[in-house]
Amino acid sequence: MANLEHKQAVFKLIYEAGLTEDGKMKTKSKTYRNINAEATADQLELVATTLKSFTSSPFINAEKIETMNLN
């Protein structure tokens, strides 16, 4: 039987970075590695709220990205 084993988790905050010449929105992101796999949505929201206050760029979204090994 196959199992999934946690490998790593990262937390990515995405911000607006202006417009391109043809009017499309550009984005920039900041990634934080070694996030606890058991971090709850509430905990991550608190972190995102705190970190986004340190920049003047408009905040778009936050993502938790998990990598798993299939054994």
Rounded to whole angstroms, what are the CA distances from 63 to 12, 21, 23, 60? 5, 28, 25, 10
Say what the pLDDT of residue 40 is: 94
Say what the pLDDT of residue 46 is: 96
Q: Which residues pair with 70 in a beta bridge?
A: 4
pLDDT in tens, 6-44: 999 999 999 999 999 999 999 999 999 999 989 999 999
Q: Radius of gyration of the chain from Cα atoms?
A: 15
